[in-house]
Copies of this chain bind each other. A is one copy, B any other.
């Protein structure tokens, strides 16, 4: 491009830079690295399920050295990213030294939780196998199922959310969101034996509580009734509570922070629930009107729907 084609644009962009309040004013603030955070997720998954997610089997025939070495790598990498995330959020008040101390504490706590995460995920695998007639084996679920992948990432991210790490849990769950269409907020509380079938289009909000043995299908929203309160609602319980043994079929919505779906209930596909239902309820949508108009092809646009 000729310089005259660029100069005006550069000037306009520079003005926006200077006016905008969402740009870094100080070049010493850094985001954590999205790429590194995703590598950490992958590495933790590989530690928990070796032989599933690496092409080169040579790397893990001796599982103890393998797990130890991978954990070492995860620990060091996570430490750096957590430190960056803390410094990003609290750049005014937090010293580098204090950030390092806090990051070290968080990293150690997280590593110690990995065996627990692993045992939780093994229960989720069992739930998926019991719940899906199309599953040929448990290995297939670990290897292929997007719902299980989304839950794996969520469980990792949730630990860091509990440790009040900024940004990183969100990067993790958005990574899963992008790959699966499941937006399962790291703040949600999810019990054991959880299964999301088909995955696509599921949204589970930050203050949702989910019990044990819950099964959810594609397109389900566990959301807020309204968010027009904006930032004032931050921290308020805005999303529902789903008790044990509930099944929610495809495209159903359960909304509201005080909405409780009682244990053992079944929510039908496309149902729209904004009030609590007692335990063992069957929530159904009413049937559709069916109009049979044989050999009547395309009367008008308005009739077709």
Contact = CB atoms under 8 A, between A and B. Distances in A.
A131 interface: yes
A226 interface: yes
A72 B65 contact: yes
Contacts of A48: 13, 16
5 contacts: A1-B72, A27-B51, A228-B298, A278-B294, A282-B290
Contact of A301 (B88, B118, B130, B226): B226
B31 A178 contact: no
A131 B183 CA distance: 17
A127 to B, nearest CB: 10
Contacts of A122: 16, 20, 22
A294 B99 CA distance: 52
Interface string A93-120: 0000000000000011001101110110
Contacts of A145: 174
A107 B251 CA distance: 39
A292 B277 CA distance: 8
Given A13-B48, A238-B133, A251-B251, A5 B111 contact: yes
A229 B249 CA distance: 15
Given A122-B16, A294-B280, A75 B5 contact: yes
Given A5-B111, A10-B65, A183-B198, 4 more contacts: A31-B139, A89-B137, A221-B269, A268-B288
B272 A294 contact: no
A171 interface: yes
Given A118-B16, A139-B22, A305-B225, A218 B133 contact: no
Contacts of A63: 14, 17
Return the 10 tightest CB-CB contacts between A and B, nearest first. Answer: A12-B115, A65-B68, A58-B76, A69-B69, A1-B75, A133-B233, A22-B138, A65-B69, A62-B72, A268-B305
Given A1-B76, A27-B51, A131-B227, A170 B65 contact: no
A183 B218 contact: yes
A260 interface: no
Contacts of A206: 134
Contacts of A230: 130-133
A241 interface: no
Contacts of A187: 134
